[in-house]
């Protein structure tokens, strides 16, 4: 009777080949997953920006996005802690009683930061014509940056908001995540 199967040297050869292939593939997989998480976070805020703009036009009144930890009122804790979209009837960029909550988004995944430059760090306000305006009536434009918290160079996405309310995104490398 002849026995069939694999020998120990054959099994060790296969395991060594699998280990080599995994060591080559895993770093690329990590980069792919990081890119996917950044894209998802960017798409979340982008969808909310589009929603706020369309709601301001549809309702004929201001619609505002603002950072919010609790999903009910604006807070200055940063965009990555979550945000609101609401109808701003009194044009103060703060959600008051009687102002309709249009959308509430939860915090982004741990390790992902979403920051705005000085003009969009606390709120983004869309006027009834679809353009962005500050509470004082001046035109509002700025950038939101989505990146993974890191002290080393990292990939990022930047959303550039024009005064007409349109948003475009770019990919970039940052020295560190702000």
pLDDT, tens digit (0-9, with 9 covering 90-100), for 46-86? 999 999 999 999 999 999 999 999 989 998 778 999 999 99
> What pLDDT shows up at residue 120?
95
Tell whether 5 is covered by a domain: no
Tell whether 25 is covered by a domain: no
> What pLDDT shows up at residue 124?
97
93 touches 64 (CB < 8 A) = yes
**How does residue 151 score in pLDDT terms, banded at 50, 70 and 90?**
confident
Tell whether 170 is covered by a domain: yes
CA 3, 6, 10, 11 dihedral sign is: negative
Query: Which of 83-87's residues contact partners 24+ apart within 8 Å by CB, and which partners?
Result: 83/45, 83/48, 85/48, 85/51, 85/52, 85/55, 87/55, 87/59, 87/61, 87/62, 87/63
> What pLDDT shows up at residue 34?
79
Measured in degrees and rounded to the nearest 5, phi and psi for residue 173 equal -105, 135
- 178 has pLDDT over 80: no
- Give one DSSP letter per residue of 17-85, joined into a string: HHHHHHHHHHHHHHHHHHHHHHHHHHHHHHHHHHHHHHHHHHHTS-EEEEE-SSSSS--SS-GGG-EEE
Instruction: Please state, in angstroms and rounded to a whole number, the distance separating the CA atoms of residues 133 and 49.
Output: 14
Tell whether 28 is covered by a domain: no
pLDDT, tens digit (0-9, with 9 covering 90-100), for 21-52? 878 877 767 777 778 889 999 999 999 999 99
pLDDT, tens digit (0-9, with 9 covering 90-100), for 101-134? 999 999 999 989 999 999 999 999 999 999 999 9
CATH number at 55 reads 3.55.40.10
Number of structural domains found in the chain: 1
Instruction: Please state, in angstroms and rounded to a whole number, the distance separating the CA atoms of residues 54 and 118.
Output: 24
pTM of the model: 0.83
Q: What is the domain range of residue 50? A: 34-174
Average pLDDT score, the chain: 90
Tell whether 136 is covered by a domain: yes
Tell whether 1 is covered by a domain: no
**How does residue 177 score in pLDDT terms, banded at 50, 70 and 90?**
confident
Tell whether 16 is covered by a domain: no
143 touches 157 (CB < 8 A) = no
Tell whether 100 is covered by a domain: yes
């Amino acid at each position: 009777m002849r026995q069939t199967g694999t020998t120990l040297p054959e099994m060790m050869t296969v395991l060594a080949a699998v280990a080599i292939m995994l060591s080559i593939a895993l770093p690329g997989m990590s980069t792919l997953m990081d890119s996917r998480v950044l894209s998802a976070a960017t798409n979340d805020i982008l969808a909310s920006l589009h929603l706020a703009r369309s709601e301001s036009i549809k309702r004929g009144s201001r619609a505002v996005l603002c950072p919010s930890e609790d999903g009910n009122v604006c807070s200055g804790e940063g965009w990555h802690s979550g945000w609101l979209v609401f109808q701003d009837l009194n044009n103060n960029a703060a959600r008051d009683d009687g102002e309709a909550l249009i959308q509430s988004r939860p915090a982004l995944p741990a390790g992902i930061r979403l920051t705005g430059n000085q003009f969009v760090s606390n709120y983004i306000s869309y006027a009834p014509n679809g353009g962005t305006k500050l509470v004082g009536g001046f035109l509002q434009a700025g950038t939101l940056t989505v990146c993974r918290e890191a002290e080393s160079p990292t990939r990022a996405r930047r959303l550039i908001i024009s005064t007409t309310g349109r948003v475009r995104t770019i990919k970039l490398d940052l020295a560190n995540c702000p």
